[in-house]
Amino acid sequence: MSYCLNPNCAKPDNPDDVDVCQACGSKLLLNDQYKAIKVLGRGGFGTTYLAIDTKLPGNPTCVIKQLRPAATAPHILAMARELFLREATTLGKVGNHPQLPRLLGYFENGDEFYLVQEYVEGLTLQQEVKRFGPKSEEEVKQVLQEVLPILDYLHKNSVIHRDIKPANLIRRDIDKRLVLIDFGAVKDKVTQAMVENAPELSTFTSFAVGTPMYAPPEQMAMRPVYASDIYALGVTCVYLLTGKSPKEIERDPRTGEWHWKRHVKTISPEFAALLDKMLEDAVKNRYQSAMDVLVDLQLLTSQPASAVAAPSISAVSPADDDLSSALAAPPSQGRPRTPKTTQRASYASSVSQNAQAARIRQSRMTGSQLGGPPVVGTGPGQHLRAKVTPRMTATQVLTAYKRGERDFVDVDLSNVVLRNADLSGANFANANFTNADLKGCILANAVLREANFQGANLSDANFCGAYLVQANFEKANLRGAKFLDASISGANFTDADICGADFSIVSGMVQGQLDKTKKNWFTKLPK
- Higher-pLDDT residue of 344, 410: 410
User: What pLDDT, on a 0 to 100 scale, did the predictor assign at position 228?
Assistant: 94
Over residues 409-417, mean pLDDT:
91
Over residues 99-120, mean pLDDT:
86
How many residues are listed for the chain in this entry? 527
Distance, in Å, from the CA atom of 409 to the CA atom of 2, rounded to the nearest integer, reads 51
- Higher-pLDDT residue of 301, 416: 416
* Residue 494: inside a domain: yes
Q: What are the tens digits of pLDDT across the range 55-75? A: 988 899 999 988 776 666 777
User: Partners of 524 in the beta sheet?
Assistant: 502
Same domain, 298 and 323: yes
Same domain, 132 and 83: no
Last residue of a domain, one of 103, 118, 133: 118
CATH number of the structural domain spanning residue 447:
2.160.20.80
Same domain, 102 and 149: no
Burial string for 62-86 (b: 16+ CB within 10 Å, else e) reads bbbbbbbbbbeeeebbebbeebbee
Same domain, 133 and 30: no
Q: How confident is residue 103, by pLDDT bands cut at 50, 70 and 90?
A: confident
* Residue 273: inside a domain: yes
Q: How confident is residue 21, by pLDDT bands cut at 50, 70 and 90?
A: very high
Same domain, 316 and 463: no
For the chain, report the end-to-end CA distance as a whole number of angstroms: 59
Q: Are 474 and 451 in contact (CB under 8 A)?
A: no
User: What pLDDT, on a 0 to 100 scale, did the predictor assign at position 498?
Assistant: 96
Last residue of a domain, one of 92, 118, 144: 118
Q: How far is CA 4 from CA 21, 124, 139, 265, 300, in A?
A: 6, 27, 41, 49, 51
Helix then strand count (H, E) for the chain reads 11, 15
- Catalytic residue, chosen from 152, 163, 296, 410, is 163
* Residue 383: inside a domain: no
Q: Is 32 a catalytic residue?
A: no
Strand order in the sheet with 46-53: 29-30, 34-43, 46-53, 61-67, 112-118, 103-109
**Percent of the chain beyond pLDDT 90?**
49
* Residue 80: inside a domain: yes
* Max avg pLDDT among 157-166, 208-217, 353-362: 157-166
Average pLDDT, the chain: 78
Q: Are 35 and 18 in contact (CB under 8 A)?
A: no
pLDDT at 202 > cutoff 80: no
CATH number of the structural domain spanning residue 129:
1.10.510.10
Q: How confident is residue 379, by pLDDT bands cut at 50, 70 and 90?
A: very low
pLDDT at 100 > cutoff 60: yes
Range of the domain at 193: 123-331+340-356
Same domain, 178 and 225: yes
Name the helix (H) or strand (E) containing 14: strand 13-14
* Residue 318: inside a domain: yes
- Domain count across the chain: 3
Last residue of a domain, one of 118, 133, 148: 118
Distance, in Å, from the CA atom of 52 to the CA atom of 119, rounded to the nearest integer, reads 10
* Residue 362: inside a domain: no
* Residue 233: inside a domain: yes
Same domain, 416 and 324: no
Residue whose C-alpha is closest to residue 257's, from 241, 271, 240, 272: 272
CATH number of the structural domain spanning residue 46:
3.30.200.20
User: What pLDDT, on a 0 to 100 scale, did the predictor assign at position 209?
Assistant: 55
Same domain, 297 and 423: no
The DSSP code for 518 is: B
Q: Are 475 and 496 in contact (CB under 8 A)?
A: yes
Same domain, 93 and 128: no
